[in-house]
Amino acid sequence: MLNDASLRLQRDRFVGFAFAGGDLLLETDLDGCITYVAGAAQTMSGQSDDHLIGKTLPDLVIPELRAKTTDFLAAVSTKGRAMPFRMGFDGIGGRWLVLSGHSSPDRPGVLQLSFRFDLPSLPERDPLIEENAFKNQVLEHLQSSDQASTLTMLDLSELEDWSEEAASACRNEIGKSLSELCCEDSASGWLDDGILGIMQKTEMDVDALEATIRTHSKIADPNGIGLTPKASSISLESGDLHPSEAGQALLYAINRFAETKGEGFRIGSLQDGFDVMVKDTVKRVVEVRETVDNDSIELNFQPIVDLKTGQIHHYEVLSRLTNGKSPFDLVCFAEQVGLIADFDLMVCRRVVAMLDDRRRWRKPTPLAINLSARSMESRAFAEGLMTLLAKFPSMRGQIMFELTESAAITDPEPVANLIEKLRKRTYKVCLDDFGSGAAAFHYLRSFSFDYVKVDGLYVRSTGRRDQSILRGMAALCKELGVVSVAEMVESKTQADRLQRLGFDLGQGYHFGRPSPDLPDTAPN
């Protein structure tokens, strides 16, 4: 039978255990040496009761938490109680525990420690900002102050080899840890698959970041191994760019650097490699800005012909740089750094000014101006274009617009609104490069068009399959009540075949190459 002293001891232990509300109770001396074990020892620590007796608690937790565990024990010893903290035993992954404790008032030198499972519910979505949303935050962050920002890149690509559940748990833990490490003005999110970015105006403690990620990932990993994160911070300098352009330029460089994985993200070369990319980006932004500000383009015109009559129906306006080169690379870059709206509006102004200057000419042939999807998504561009057209009402019937697919539409609402406004004012709108991607079919379903231009790859093919597809496209256009246009027509044989397939208009070298002249326009 137990004597009174033994009964009191057991009572004290289990009262303390119940008070702590834990799944595992340990008693230790002031140094953390375990003297008593009760509860789910094997499940929570990976060791049996007997194996735990005599071990020191700081030696059992994951190495990154040993110092914190020692501080916890010291606080319990001196103050009688300490704030609970989340921890995990070394080698036991996938299990977060909460450690609580107090000193025994009746037994000096004894600490009663309780462990319970911490089972936070996983968020419905990734706590770290997804790529597109992070880009927007980066832009706001970079443009909110003249102070240079710091970008910390963290390689978490090892998560791609984890199970979806384990990776989600780890991302959740990383999100929590970042909230403790980062400043209030920081923004954290994905730059690319497996590459996390942290943007803030104060320098990040990279060593502390890596240690925290190792700790949290080791506990989140069911195998108890965790990640070996590689992080580095780099200073972002925007050079002499206008503030409205600096953010876009730097974001472009960041994205390009993430896409190339920074040459393997070698820490030593990270800053130098990024500096080179930023300088190149700044140089190209200046080139785009000078092209726009100085109207440094030439307008060329390529005819679109009625396949039945052979008469010119309208011309497509094509931009050429003053050195004669195609602006394709410049336009693609301008789309990526957010300057394409300025470029497109500049072309529109040039075309309107040219047509206004030629009002004395009879039988003006309509001109089709290319507009990037990025421009049409911009509400500022839409306002600028509609203001321009309102000043020149005579442009109705002389101008039409082609929606190009060099950049995918990410925000369809403003695009639909602009198309509706243009068509209400009798301006025709054409969908370019139809058939070049699945998105084109989605655009045809989502937006109202007057013309559809079919991608030239189908036109140039002589295969029966592609010819059947062309016939189907022409029939679809007729069914929808839109005019079909075939591009890249290079011979009379092609033109005749396209007419038989049901196409209305054709464009290509067979009908004429781009030219700076409008040969079918005659003065009075």
Tell me what the mean pLDDT of segment 478-492 comes to: 94
pLDDT category, 437, cuts 50, 70, 90?
Answer: low
Contacts (Cβ under 8 Å, ≥6 apart) of 407: 332, 335, 340, 372, 373, 374
The CA distance from 149 to 144, in Å, is 10
pLDDT tens sequence across 250-267: 666 666 666 665 444 444
Residue 421 falls within a domain, yes or no?
yes
Q: Which of the residue ranges 244-258, 322-336, 429-443 would you say has the lowest mean pLDDT?
A: 244-258
| Both tokens assigned to 514 | 């781009």
Q: What is the SS3 assignment for 56?
A: strand
Q: Which token pair is 148? A: 């240079």
CATH number of 60's domain? 3.30.450.20
Whose tokens are 């497109």? That residue is: 344
Whether 502 and 303 have beta carbons less than 8 Å apart is answered as no
Alpha-carbon gap, residue 209 to 216, rounded angstroms: 11
456 and 485 share one domain? yes
Do 256 and 171 belong together in one domain? yes
pLDDT in tens, 152-190: 888 888 888 888 888 888 888 888 788 778 877 777 888
pLDDT tens for each residue of 308-320: 999 999 999 998 8
- For 366, list phi and psi in degrees, rounded to 5: -60, 150
The pLDDT tens digits for 145-154 are 566 677 788 8
Q: In terms of domains, do 230 and 305 share one?
A: no
The answer to whether residues 281 and 330 belong to one domain is no
**For residue 518, is it within any domain?**
no
* Average pLDDT over all residues of the chain: 82
Averaged pLDDT for residues 471-489: 94
197 and 63 in a common domain = no
Give the integer Cα–Cα distance in Å for 318 and 341. Answer: 16
The verdict on residue 86 lying in a domain is yes
Q: Specify if 523 maps to a domain.
A: no
d(CA 305, CA 490): 13
Last residue of a domain, one of 238, 257, 287: 287
Q: What is the DSSP string of 377-426?
A: H-HHHHHHHHHHHHH-GGGTTTEEEEE--SS--S-HHHHHHHHHHHHHTT
| Res 176: pLDDT | 79
Name the DSSP letter for residue 148.
P
Indicate if the pLDDT at residue 402 is higher than 90: yes
Assess if residue 327 is contained within a domain.
yes
* 200 and 82 co-located in one domain: no
- 329 pLDDT higher than 70: yes
Number of domains in the chain: 3
Are residues 242 and 263 located together in one domain of the fold?
yes
pLDDT for 198-241, tens place per residue?
888 777 888 888 888 888 888 888 888 888 887 777 776 655 55
My answer on whether 218 and 315 are in the same domain is no
Q: Residue 437 contacts by C-beta under 8 Å, 6 or more apart in sequence?
A: 405
102 with 140, same domain: the answer is no
Q: Are 255 and 276 members of one domain? A: yes
**Predicted local confidence at residue 391, as pLDDT:** 93
Bridge partners (DSSP) listed for residue 515: 301
Which of 350, 406, 420, 326 has the alpha carbon at shortest distance from 374? 406
pLDDT band at 281 (very low <50, low <70, confident <90, very high): confident
pLDDT in the model for residue 267: 41
Q: Is the pLDDT of residue 363 over 90?
A: no
Asked whether the beta carbons of 317 and 350 are under 8 A apart, the reply is: no
Position 498 in a domain: yes
Residue 260, CA distances (Å) to 268, 378, 407 in order: 16, 29, 20
More confident residue, 102 or 405: 102
Residues 148 and 249 in one domain: yes
Phi first, then psi, for residue 482 (nearest 5°) are: -115, 155
> What is the pLDDT at residue 523?
41
pLDDT reported for residue 13 = 55
The residue segments making up the domain with residue 196 are 131-287
What pLDDT shows up at residue 239?
58
pLDDT for the residue 339: 83
Domain co-membership, 383 together with 496: yes
Choose the final residue of a domain: 240, 260, 287: 287
Min mean pLDDT across 77-91, 107-121, 291-305, 381-395 is at: 107-121
Confidence of residue 19 (pLDDT cuts 50, 70, 90): very low
List, in sequence order, every beta strand (DSSP E) within 259-311: 297-306
Residue 490 maps to a domain = yes
Sign of CA dihedral 279, 410, 442, 340: negative
Contact 125, 172 (CB under 8 A): no
